[in-house]
A and B are shown apart, each in its own frame.
Chain A
Amino acid sequence: MSAPVLRLAGVAKRYGGARCWWPLGQRAAATTALAAVDLDIRPGDAVGLVGESGSGKTTLARIAAGLLSASDGSVQWYGRDVRGLDAADRAAYRRGVQYVFQNPQTALNPRRRLAAILDDTLRGLTSLDPAQRRERIRRVAAQTGVDTALLGRFAHQLSGGQAQRVAIARALLGEPRLVILDEPVSALDVSLQAQILELLGELRARHGLAYLFISHDLAVVERLCEHICVMHQGRIVEAGAREVVLGEPREGYTRRLLDAVPRMQT
């Protein structure tokens, strides 16, 4: 088996509870958002993360992407702790792990044109010259089904589906190894959801991407991911191959989750 692109080893996260230096300031009770989570994502794997709201999915995803630091445990990029990476590896990690947010409208700066947002992303991640950047943007836009005529616009001038395509294009610009998708279709209607799901499948096949795909919708996760992790109250309570987790769940919680999914065949 190949080495994991990203490994989370005993990652925990606690919010609040820090002492405030100002006497009498409010001291929020500490909440444990994540409790010692282990997770491996191998090259080309699509790992689905399911669970109800508040179960810690987004916290885990943000830690994996380096947007949040863990209170405990380590995040390893090809076997090395991301905190100890040298400059070159750090840049590779930065390029290699990208993120797609739930709400595409808030993930795109409302006061900048889309072309500028994409160009900035490329400048931050690579050292391409302007002509190469234009070429790369054109290519990725074509792959993600973004009409280049749209790039002169602002995010609020796009529909939800278009904006999510641009957000996916942004994530792909640096040619990542792993894309973390945090509920990327939850804000979309089924017809748009189907469009985006198809796009994600296509992109993965074409680039050999690994996905960490987060959703509360089991049917959606089942379509896209061969591996599924079920989260509950800050823990991964069950993980394994799709057929096993959804077909023969061991945990009571997974069964309850499965039972609750409405089905069209009655």
Chain B
Amino acid sequence: MSTDGSSAAGGSGRLAGPLGRLRRHPGALAGLGLLALVLVPAVAAPVLALPDPALTAPAQRMLPPLSAGHVLGTDHLGRDLLSRLVWGARASIAVGALATLIAALAGAVLGLAAAWLGRLVDGLVMRGVDVLMAFPYLLLALAIVAALGPGLANAMLAIAVANVPFFARAVRGAALDIRHQDYIAAARLAGHGEPAILAREVLPNLAPTLLLLMTTTLGWMVLETAGLSFLGLGAQPPAADLGSMLGEGREFLTTYPRVAVLPGLVILVLVVGINLVGDGLRDLLDPRWSPAGSSAQRQGAKADARRVAVGGDAGDAEQPDGLPLLSVRGLDVDVTGPAGPLSAVAGVDVDLRRGERVALVGESGCGKTLTALALLRLLPAGTAQRGSVRHDGTELMALDDTALRHLRGRRLAYVPQEPLTALDPLFRVGFQIGETRRAHGTESAYATAALVRMVGLSAVPDLLRRFPHELSGGQRQRVAIALALAHGPDLLIADEATTALDVTVQREILALLRRLCDEQGRALLFVSHDLALVAALCERVLVMYAGRIVEDAAASDLLRQPAHPYTAALLGATPELGQPQKTLSVLAGEPPAPGARVSGCRFAPRCPRVQPVCRSAEPELVRTGDGRRVRCRFPLEDGA
């Protein structure tokens, strides 16, 4: 179903996007403006009615600005300053651009050779690059100019050569990256030779990187060539570029400052323009960039988080025994789309009892992670949450930062998906456990040794002195669990906590989580995409689809007889060990993205039981006879 909706977008290609977005990038636009300010006169210099920049007139030396015939006045030899600035800018731009081009081409060839021609070539090129990069690059350029003799062309060449190693190294890195991509292997499998692979697979992917490197270094190159000219090693009189004008003007700095200040100002405007355009290009070539602006996104989260919509759900009036441990009402989460907020999670109403193990399942992208983070008020920048989250009667949305901080870690704990990135890679395990234990002023519930024992890491030698990368995946996850347990929380929220692990390790971690919850009466919210896994661990299952809870039932009931067609489809599509003959039910299509317009039931486009009425309005999450809740007009019945 997504095929018809967006096939038109495919034809418009890749460039139309960036160019279209350019209009919404103020930095790049400003850069283009500044660049035009210098570039247009410089390019048009021959046709402009300017006096000869080299024409000396000793009688007219140091005329002030706005003199007759000399808008900006004259210099110490009576030459027209404006004309010299325009021609000087022309020389500086040409020299900077040429130097960049030469350095980029030579660097690209060297870098590509290093990446592609095997270890010997790689070693030779890279050792050469190491040696050349051991020079402060201006010194290398100086030595080259010293060898070639002063002159603008020589200065340009020197700057270019001094920058070749930089390009070679960057291009090699990018090319090595490409080399290990699967599409290169696929091209080999298609029987193509190296030249064809380089031409068709590598160069098109290298080109944007190279272009970006060139725009981001162009500014430097202009500055550096101007620098050599400033020292008298570049443009030789009577020819002039901006750098040599600055150098000449230096003598009159105290008496006629404008002669030296103006060329510098032109360089500054030019280079600022180049850098702004380069930054813009980088953003526009990055598919993740959005014109909304990263800072603006960060603002949104804070402002919206305060809005609390308290409105209990009538359908859920019959509370289970006593006050629930966690009570969620009307939880919405919005994410930032290209054109404003999109609803990713909507209307989540859930109660969790003490000691209960509950699973949250669904396909990826249906909002499980956002929901889990919202329960801790830990949503990332660019998202906003509304609704009510009560822990033990305390409204989280009304807490200030300090109270919230003490609640997290002490009562609510979080176990991340990928412990390699979730533990701070720069601190030892012992440090991270220690600071967590001390985070809330009071003694932590468990001593370090007890924690280590509890998560089964006592046998790891020197555990506390190790860095996370010195542990295996399973050990890291155990450390993350120890951090979560430090203050004896009454709810653990684990987001895909075993997804990154091998099955045998996964089994151990599941057993650990189960034991920790059983023995210590802790509740668990276990987020997963794997129904089989969840069935082994949890008592109750919440099924999520497109940001909505669609079914809430005891695990055994749900497995025996799913009520929502989506749950049934998920179960039917899961292969089971020992039942190779089971026909997998094939659920066509894919879940809608946040903000996708689906009228009525969000599952209707994929639902095998869909009726016309389903598309008219979204069904409510209603409680059925056997204590489940289902969001469907035509739920499956027992025996259906």
Contact = CB atoms under 8 A, between A and B. Distances in A.
Contacts of B572: 194
A212 to B, nearest CB: 14
A181 to B, nearest CB: 13
Contacts of B6: 157
Contacts of B532: 219, 262-264
B587 A91 contact: no
Nearest to A197: B584
B183 interface: yes
Nearest to A67: B185
Contacts of A69: none
Given A258-B577, A260-B506, A192 B590 contact: yes
A207 interface: no
A120 interface: yes
Given A22-B123, A109-B204, A257-B503, A194 B587 contact: yes
Interface in A150-182: 150, 152-154, 156-157, 159, 161, 170-171, 174
Interface residues on A, range: 35 or more
Contacts of B573: 190-191, 193-194
A149 interface: yes
Given A109-B205, A154-B14, A189 B503 contact: no
Given A109-B205, A147-B3, A120 B192 contact: yes
Contacts of B196: 124
Contact of B535 (A53, A195, A264): A264
Contact of A150 (B3, B504, B510, B569): B3
A259 B507 CA distance: 9
Interface in B1-43: 2-3, 6-7, 9-11, 14
B201 interface: yes
B376 interface: no
Interface stretch (A30-38, A78-86, A96-104, A233-241): A96-104
Contacts of B533: 262
A219 B577 contact: yes
B363 A257 contact: no
Nearest to A98: B189
Contact of B576 (A52, A147, A161, A263): A263
Nearest to A121: B190
B352 to A, nearest CB: 22
Nearest to A110: B205
A136 interface: no
A147 B7 CA distance: 10
A125 B190 contact: yes
A139 interface: no
Q: Chain B: interface secondary structure?
A: helix
A246 interface: yes
Contacts of A21: 120, 123
Given A161-B590, A189-B363, A94 B191 contact: yes
B586 interface: yes
Contacts of B3: 147, 149-150
Contacts of A149: 3, 7
A220 interface: yes
Contacts of A216: 502-503
Contacts of B181: 106
B582 to A, nearest CB: 8
A97 B7 CA distance: 32
A222 B9 contact: no
B531 interface: yes
Nearest to B188: A67
B191 A195 contact: no
A187 to B, nearest CB: 9
Contacts of A154: 10, 14
Nearest to A218: B577
A41 interface: no
Contacts of A112: 200, 204
Interface string B362-375: 01100000000000
A251 interface: no
Interface string B557-568: 001000000000
Most buried by A among B6, B11, B531, B532: B532
Contacts of B189: 65-67, 94, 97-99, 171
A222 B575 contact: yes
A52 B190 contact: no
A206 interface: no
Contacts of A266: 535-536, 556
Interface in A106-130: 106-112, 117, 120-121, 123-125
Interface string A30-51: 0000000000000000000000
Contact of B190 (A124, A192, A242): A124
Contacts of B617: none
B580 interface: yes
Interface in B197-223: 200-201, 204-205
Interface string A177-213: 0000000000001111111011000000000000000
B123 to A, nearest CB: 6
A107 B507 contact: no
A191 B570 contact: yes
B575 A219 contact: yes
A189 B7 contact: no
B182 interface: yes
Contact of A264 (B364, B503, B531): B531
A264 B504 contact: no
A153 B188 contact: no
A189 B364 contact: yes
Most buried by B among A120, A194, A198, A266: A194
Contacts of B204: 109, 111-112
A260 B187 contact: no
A137 to B, nearest CB: 13
Contacts of B185: 62, 67, 99, 101, 107
A223 interface: yes
B629 interface: no
A150 B576 CA distance: 33
B287 interface: yes
Nearest to B581: A223
A197 B575 contact: yes
A261 interface: yes
A78 to B, nearest CB: 18
Nearest to B473: A53
A179 B574 CA distance: 24
Contact of B586 (A111, A120, A195): A195
Nearest to A187: B364
A120 B577 contact: no
B44 interface: no
Contact of B10 (A95, A120, A150, A193): A150
Interface string A10-25: 0000000000111001
Nearest to A18: B119
30 contacts: A20-B123, A25-B123, A52-B503, A106-B181, A107-B182, A107-B186, A108-B186, A110-B205, A111-B204, A124-B192, A153-B10, A154-B10, A157-B6, A161-B590, A174-B190, A190-B363, A191-B570, A194-B584, A216-B502, A216-B503, A217-B575, A218-B577, A219-B577, A242-B580, A257-B504, A262-B530, A263-B578, A264-B535, A264-B559, A266-B536
Interface of B: 2-3, 6-7, 9-11, 14, 120, 123, 127, 181-183, 185-192, 196, 200-201, 204-205, 287, 363-364, 502-504, 506-507, 510, 529-533, 535-536, 556, 559, 569-578, 580, 584-588, 590
Given A25-B123, A195-B587, 6 more contacts: A21-B120, A107-B186, A161-B590, A190-B531, A246-B577, A260-B504
Interface of A: 20-22, 25, 52-53, 62, 65-67, 91, 94-95, 97-99, 101, 103, 106-112, 117, 120-121, 123-125, 147, 149-150, 152-154, 156-157, 159, 161, 170-171, 174, 189-195, 197-198, 216-220, 222-223, 242, 246, 256-266
Task: Rank and list the top 9 A-B pairs by shortest CB-CB distance, nearest first.
Answer: A153-B10, A124-B190, A194-B573, A191-B587, A52-B502, A107-B182, A124-B191, A260-B507, A194-B584
